[in-house]
Amino acid sequence: MLLNTYSRFDVKFIKGKNATLIDEEGKDYIDFTSGIGVVSVGHGNERLANAICEQAKNIIHISNLYRIPPQEELAKILVDKYKENGGVFFCNSGAEANETALKIARKYGEVEGEIKRYKVITLENSFHGRTISTLKATGQPKFHQYFGPFPDGFDYAKNIKDIYNKLDDKTIAVMIELIQGEGGVNPFDKDEIKELESELKKRDILLIVDEVQTGIYRTGEFYASNLYEITPDIITLAKGLGGGVPIGAVVTRLTDVLKPGEHGSTFGGNYLSTRAGIEVCTILEEEKTKGNLDKRIEYFDDKLVEIAKEFPNLFDSVSGYGLMRALKTHKSQIRDEIIKRAFEERVLVLKAGSNSVRFLPPLTITSSEIDEGFDRLKSALAKVEE
């Protein structure tokens, strides 16, 4: 028996090909979710499968007591895209990556400066994970029920401008998502973010950008930070980096803060996960360089805009960047009905925030899969309007 921690749809998928899933009855579904932004190069990707298989035939895991060549290779890829000298810590999930970022920040605040700085400011409607610390960092009270007492030292700003009101001599870091995912697919203004980065640098306050969902080309650029033209002190990654193999990562310029024994991960960055990460990054780099990714993004965007115009009784607007998108509904009940009806029409979509239908398709999705998915979604929306 499984713990009752998920409200599951009654379907069993047995096979997948790119953005198409097949259930045990042979029915096909168009997947606009990619495992909540994880299956970045699609289901059943042969190149990724072959890379994983070949690695598994040799070494799956040793430990971080020894050098791991694919770990070092993947770290170089992540740092090269960071555009600053930096280092990488590998773990297993986004929550672990954010825990690591918090530990780096707290230690930095302990050893740098005349007084101890420990306060971390996050934003309302943010989401940073499900461990005790990252739950507390999450600026949504509904996630805080039942699990206290929480660690001290977190404060929540209403928006980017409100962050300035929260800064004080105990503040060591600001942690933000550039596009709030679980909060509703809400992008922040580029100029506001660049101004915030500049102000924090002046005050020697760290900027942590949670790219667990936005990273690895999800927004069209390798990091959403590249899209926003900033270089955070710390970036956290997970989801799409392994293409389905669990992996998390922290990229930071603060390479000398943590010392041996102060942090670690038994499974983090092992042969299997980092070899998968290399292949994912290689595939997506090729797709970006050839222009394929940008064409998919434009085509998907056109379809979203068309849907919003065709069903004004259901939708207010389109939001997001790249292939991290949402249709904003007039109210949450409409959103929930759309997700239910879409499943009945065999197209998978997600909810986010209070009223968003979220789209996180594989970054390799084809135009024919996009067409089929939106045709099915239109059928679902017509039934919602009835």
- Over residues 347-382, the pLDDT tens digits come to 999 999 999 999 999 999 999 999 999 999 999 999
| Nearest-angstrom CA–CA distance, 183 and 353 | 4
- What is the structure's pLDDT at 5? 93
Give residue limits of the domains in the chain. 13-31+291-385, 48-288
**What tokens were used for 373?**
């998915």
The pairing of beta strand 87-91 with beta strand 248-252: antiparallel
Average pLDDT over residues 145-164: 96
**What tokens were used for 10?**
């009654």
Which amino acid is present at 114?
E
State the pTM of this model.
0.96
- What is the structure's pLDDT at 260? 96
- What is the structure's pLDDT at 106? 97
| Nearest-angstrom CA–CA distance, 154 and 162 | 15
pLDDT class of 203 with cuts at 50, 70, 90: very high
Lowest mean pLDDT among 35-39, 108-112, 190-194: 108-112
Given a cut of 90, whether residue 68 has pLDDT beyond it is yes
> Token match 């759309």: residue?
338
User: How far is C-alpha 196 from the chain's CA centre?
Assistant: 21
Say whether 91 sits in a helix, a strand or coil.
strand
| Nearest-angstrom CA–CA distance, 200 and 297 | 33
Given a cut of 80, whether residue 386 has pLDDT beyond it is no
- What is the structure's pLDDT at 385? 84
Domains 13-31+291-385 and 48-288 share a fold: no
> Token match 């996630």: residue?
143
**Hey, which residues does 122 pair with through a beta bridge?**
156
- Over residues 213-253, the pLDDT tens digits come to 999 999 999 999 999 999 999 999 999 999 999 999 999 99
230-245 core/surface letters (b: 16 or more CB in 10 A; e: else): bbbbbbbbbbbbbbbb
- Over residues 280-339, the pLDDT tens digits come to 999 999 999 999 999 999 999 999 999 999 999 999 999 999 999 999 999 999 999 999
- What is the structure's pLDDT at 224? 98
204 CB contacts (<8 Å, ≥6 apart)? 112, 113
Which amino acid is present at 274?
T
Let me know: does 30 contact 369? Beta carbons within 8 Å. Answer: yes
Which amino acid is present at 303?
K
pLDDT class of 114 with cuts at 50, 70, 90: confident
**What tokens were used for 340?**
């239910």
First-last CA distance in the chain = 39
| Nearest-angstrom CA–CA distance, 332 and 139 | 20
312 CB contacts (<8 Å, ≥6 apart)? none
- What is the structure's pLDDT at 48? 98
* Upstream peptide bond of 69 is cis (omega within 30 degrees of 0): no
Can you identify the CATH homologous superfamily of domain 13-31+291-385? Aspartate Aminotransferase, domain 1 (3.90.1150.10)
- What is the structure's pLDDT at 79? 98
Class (C level, CATH) for 48-288: alpha beta
> Token match 């409200």: residue?
7
| Nearest-angstrom CA–CA distance, 345 and 263 | 47
- What is the structure's pLDDT at 24? 97
Average pLDDT, whole number, for the chain? 97
User: How far is C-alpha 232 from the chain's CA centre?
Assistant: 16
- Over residues 295-312, the pLDDT tens digits come to 999 999 999 999 999 999
- What is the structure's pLDDT at 112? 86
Positive or negative, the CA dihedral 356, 352, 78, 163 is: positive
Q: What percent of the chain has pLDDT over 70?
A: 100
Which amino acid is present at 17?
K
**What tokens were used for 289?**
């360089």
Average pLDDT over residues 173-191: 96
Given a cut of 80, whether residue 103 has pLDDT beyond it is yes
**What tokens were used for 348?**
């998978």
Positive or negative, the CA dihedral 228, 229, 230, 234 is: positive
| Nearest-angstrom CA–CA distance, 121 and 139 | 10
**What tokens were used for 157?**
């700003």
